[in-house]
Amino acid sequence: MEIYDTAIVGAGFGGLAAGAKLSQQGYNVAVFEASNELGGSAGKYERQGYRFQSGATLGMGFEEGGVFDSLYDSLGIEKPPMTLLNPIMDIHLPDRTIHYYRERHEWYLEIDRHFPDVKEQVKAFYDEVFRVGAIVDKLVLELPIFPPRTMSDWLGMLPAVNIDSSRLIPYLTQTIQQRLKKFGLADHSLFVTFLNGELMDSVQTSVDRCPAFLGYAALQTFHKGAYAVHGGLATIAEQLAEFIKQQGGTVFMRHPIYGITEEEGSFRLKTKREKVYKSKQVILNNSAHNLHDTLSAKLAERSYIKKEKEESREAWGAFIIHAGVKEEVFSDTSSLYHQFIDPGNPEGLHDGGQFLLSLSSGEDSGMAPPGMRSLTLSTHTDLAKWWDKEHYDSRKQLMHDRLINIVDHYFKGFSDGLDIVLPGTPVTFQKWLRRNSGKVGGYAPTGRFSWLNSYSVRTGVKNIYQCGDTTFPGAGTLGVTLSGLMAAKLVSKQG
């Protein structure tokens, strides 16, 4: 039986980034994906001439020096065609539409228009966002193993201890709400509503619960460059998988892994088909939610990730609608991304209180039939209610109608222009993407020090590592990819 150098469980962005870097270095890599699609929560599926994006839709990190720009350059891969977004998105509130511009000077003019009474305070706040976000980026791009769990991890943190990093201390110990008080903005309902919407979309939380440095890093990322990648984000996954195969690695589709065991210095990975594979090292890219379902009980006991704690940690689910729509419905806007925020929603920022509409580019003919666009609607949702079978169908219809009606209010003829409508719930995410209980998007920050509860790429089991949205630096395609590169860094050190 062939023994691989590294087995990667899950073909999400983190696992594929790790596999690409390791295969480039000469490692014999095998990637095991449970489904028949690549990309995990940033994957795709096709129906009736449409290509739908499974979850994440916005391309980030392709600006010069960005995460994907650097990764593609190091691998020698040509970047896929994409459309640079400016504005990044239109944000629809009951009494106004805010154009969220990428360019700083354009965004500051928009601030003048919508927040005239506090415009100087808001711009001063964003000056701080850009300054602190740049410091955080610089540190994270060094791929630190955080939180440090070994002496080598601590030693690896030493280069980050400098004047710049010391300036982060106030932002490591405060929430964004506390920073807003400094600018006299904490009680400005319109700006806080806007900011809550952006943070919920990017960090899964609100100003009062978001660590300042984490929220700042997310907010400034929008302004570095947001893209509609042609073919969807799954195109990136396809390119990375192809690179792995070109380097001699193997990508196994429809190969879910169960009950990894250790035997004579290597690991045995068993699939549902009772096939067994061996590897010297393992990277788990299937979320910490699934760790105890993937490792044998004996190995799981050695991990610092405990099942009881894992089950109780806060996480969101997603309600999502994939649909085709007539191109003419959006003829009056050039924006491909639209956010809808309803401050009066009794559910708060979830279950329709805040949601995103992602529209395929008219330049991207592979996403929809002629004259049509592929779109995704997605909102955070509480998980527990979706496992009540008795009320499942009625709740699904209620959420479907709520989102469709809100978009219809802003874009007349939207509901009449729909061609195909495919709603999905946390139950869908568990069934098709194997997300335990339908949990997606990592962990929602719960306060100023909640970042200290992050999981490292180390699992606590020697030669088994992890990456993904539940691993530092967290959710989103950039965070997931960085954690994959961190895991690859550790594997190559062991090798």
Query: Residue 493 above 90 pLDDT?
Result: no
Residue 187's alpha-carbon distances to 100, 179, 193, 207, in angstroms, are 22, 12, 10, 12
Give me the pLDDT at residue 407, please: 97
Per-residue pLDDT of 32-57, as tens digits, reads 999 999 999 999 999 999 999 988 89
Residue 163: what pLDDT?
Answer: 67
CA-based nearest residue to 171, from 222, 226, 204, 219: 219
Which has the closest alpha carbon to 456: 154, 252, 125? 154
What's the pTM? 0.95
Cβ atoms of 205 and 196 closer than 8 Å: no
For residue 207, CA distances in Å to 186, 191, 211, 251 come to: 9, 11, 8, 41
Least confident of 236-240, 436-440, 481-485: 436-440
- Give the residue extent of every domain in the chain: 3-41+231-312+449-494, 103-224
Mean pLDDT calculated for residue range 329-343:
94
The pLDDT value given to residue 138:
87
May I ask the CATH class of domain 3-41+231-312+449-494? Answer: alpha beta
Band of the pLDDT at 347, cuts 50, 70, 90?
A: confident
Q: What is the pLDDT of residues 252-305, one digit of tens each?
A: 999 999 889 999 889 999 997 779 999 999 999 988 988 999 999 999 999 999
